[in-house]
Amino acid sequence: MSERPELALRAKELDAADELAPLRGRFVLDDVVYLDGNSLGALPVNVPDRVADVVRRQWGERRIRSWEEGGWWTAPERIGDRIAPLVGAAPGQIVVGDSTSVNVFKAVVAAVRMADAGRDELLVDATTFPTDGYIAESAARMTGRTVRAVTPAELPAALSDRTAAVLLNHVDYRTGRLHDLPGLTAAVHASGALAVWDLCHSAGALPVGLDEHGVDLAVGCTYKYLNGGPGSPAYLYVRRELQHRFDSPLPGWTSHAEPFAMSASFAPAPGATRGRVGTPDILSMLALEAALEVWDGVRIDAVRAKSLALTDFFLECVTAYTEAGRVECVTPGPHAERGSQIALRCPDAGEVMERLIERGVVGDFRHPDVLRFGFTPLYVGFADAERAARVLGELLARTG
């Protein structure tokens, strides 16, 4: 379909009024419409020089001295405190390090260990990212529990005095559905169990409110909406009131109360530090720290408002540019149920996404038939949304 001038004009006006528009200049971008920040965020402009400094000066010149002089040793907690405001947590409750999968394992096993002995069942989100399910099954075997998969909608009815802990995703990675973290956490607590949340697809895109809603433990990656880079370290949140009871299944020398004493027996460090395991991955960790500087002065509420406006506008443009029935939106319409992505179902989704990328619109494909478009409000604009929908319409008209 041809360009709709009224949509292009509205996009221009919306971009002109956007308070977050100047943040685009904090990223390395080109003329591609990049809608895959829910898989890998764009590179912040300050990161390359910072990484070069870490390699050439801190490692190259200071060498071992940088553990103290460069703040390497305290980086996991320091960077955790940088992430904390983005997920609604007070300082001292987040430690950065390891992968999301490792942190899910730590959190789930620790949650089960904190539960009453008679609670023998672990509930896991049936719609979760597969790895979370794999780890939940392993954690259940290791702790002598059983695991049962339920959808978030089924969870309240599935809770019982047998439930030890529940592992849930805040946003469904396929559809972009936002689950009710406050309500589900309250239901879990009412049953006497502990709530573990995976924030990979929500942190940096919308308010989370970990402290406000009494979440027990949470994990998340940093390479999506937090723009930390490929494979950047994940993080683990342990609510302050539970930290003295947090019994990690992976105790390591850096989570010891006296790490350099090299004691034969383990004594856990106080606070969130006991969530550490081994030597911090300094290069990627300090790249993440630099990347987080793009958040200076940014309100997460403003990010959420723009995210909803962007996804609303994109859906309007998709409707205008595509033939009725050619695609089906599987992302919920109500704002309270939507993350920061739009998922469209179409029979030839894999081929369509390949053609979109060739035309300079980058999203991704999820088997078997989902086109996924992630909207990162820090650098995606309304003109990007209009262009993506228009190119999609053109391609679908040719292949219909």
Which are the catalytic amino acids?
129, 198, 223-224, 372
Nearest in space to 45 (alpha carbons), one of 377, 381, 299, 294: 294
Cα–Cα distance for residue pair 93/363, rounded to 1 Å: 34
Nearest in space to 160 (alpha carbons), one of 146, 171, 170: 146
Residue with tokens 């993440």: 288
Nearest in space to 236 (alpha carbons), one of 122, 130, 128, 77: 77
Residue with tokens 């930290």: 243
Give the DSSP H/E element, type plus range, for residue 296: none
Cα–Cα distance for residue pair 326/346, rounded to 1 Å: 7
Residue 283 CB-density burial (10 A; 0-12 exposed, 13-18 middle, 19+ buried): middle
Cα–Cα distance for residue pair 358/119, rounded to 1 Å: 53
Determine the longest span between alpha carbons in the chain, in angstroms.
72
Beta bridge partners of 125: 150
Beta bridge partners of 357: none
Cα–Cα distance for residue pair 300/208, rounded to 1 Å: 9
Please tell me the chain's helix, strand, coil percentages from 3-state DSSP, rounded to the nearest 5.
45, 15, 40
Cα–Cα distance for residue pair 373/342, rounded to 1 Å: 5
